Amino acid sequence: MTIQKKLLVLVDGSERTIQTVNYVKDFMPVDENTRIVLFHVFSGIPEEYRELEKDPTCANAVHQLRNREMEEERKIRAYLEQAKKILITGGFSEQSIEIKFHCLERGLARDIIDEARKGYRAVVLRRRGMGALKNIIVGSVAVKLLQSLTFIPMIIVGQAPPVKKILLAVDASPASMKAVEFVASLLGGHGYEVCIFHAIPGLGAINFELSEVNKPELPEVKVSDTCIEAFKLKVVRLFQVIKDMLMASGFESEKISEKIISGVLSRSDAIVKEAEDGGYGTIVVGRRGLSKVEAFFMGRVGHAVVYGGKKFTVWVV
CA distances in angstroms from 150 to 115, 181, 183, 232, 286, listed in the order given: 14, 17, 17, 31, 11
Residue 215 CB: number of other CB atoms within 10 A? Answer: 10
- 148 plus 164 within the same structural domain: no
- 206 plus 274 within the same structural domain: yes
Residues 36-77: tens digit of each pLDDT: 999 999 887 666 555 655 666 666 666 677 778 888 889 999
Residue 288 CB: number of other CB atoms within 10 A? Answer: 24
Residues 136-186: tens digit of each pLDDT: 333 477 777 877 888 999 999 988 899 999 999 999 888 899 999 999 999
- 107 plus 213 within the same structural domain: no
- 165 plus 109 within the same structural domain: no
pLDDT of residue 159: 87
Domain boundary among 109, 138, 157: 157
Amino acid, res. 275: A
Q: β-pairing, 97-103 with 122-126?
A: unpaired
Q: β-pairing, 282-285 with 256-264?
A: unpaired
Report helix, strand or coil for 210.
coil
- 294 plus 166 within the same structural domain: yes
Domain count along the chain: 2
- 69 plus 216 within the same structural domain: no
- 262 plus 220 within the same structural domain: yes
Provide the pLDDT confidence category of residue 134 given band limits of 50, 70 and 90. very low
Cβ contact 55:27 at 8 Å: no
> Phi first, then psi: what are they for 242, rounded to 5°?
-65, -45
Domain boundary among 157, 191, 223: 157
Residues 8-28: tens digit of each pLDDT: 999 988 877 888 999 999 999
What's the angle, vertex CA 171, arms to CA 170 and CA 176, rounded to 5?
65
Domain boundary among 94, 127, 157: 157
Q: Is the pLDDT score of 232 beyond 90?
A: no
Q: Is the pLDDT score of 209 beyond 50?
A: no
- 9 plus 145 within the same structural domain: yes
- 139 plus 169 within the same structural domain: no
Provide the pLDDT confidence category of residue 31 given band limits of 50, 70 and 90. confident
Query: Who has greater pLDDT, 213 or 15?
Result: 15
Cβ contact 96:36 at 8 Å: yes
Domain that holds residue 212: 159-317
- Integer Cα distance of 200 and 75 in angstroms: 50
18-21, long-range: CB < 8 A, 24+ apart: 18/82, 18/83, 18/86, 19/126, 19/157, 19/159, 20/124, 20/125, 20/126, 20/157, 21/83, 21/86, 21/87
- 200 plus 60 within the same structural domain: no
CATH number at residue 40: 3.40.50.620
The edge-to-edge listing of strands for the beta sheet with 193-201 is: 97-103, 34-42, 5-10, 122-126, 154-157, 313-316, 282-285, 165-169, 193-201, 256-264
- 208 plus 313 within the same structural domain: yes
- 201 plus 123 within the same structural domain: no
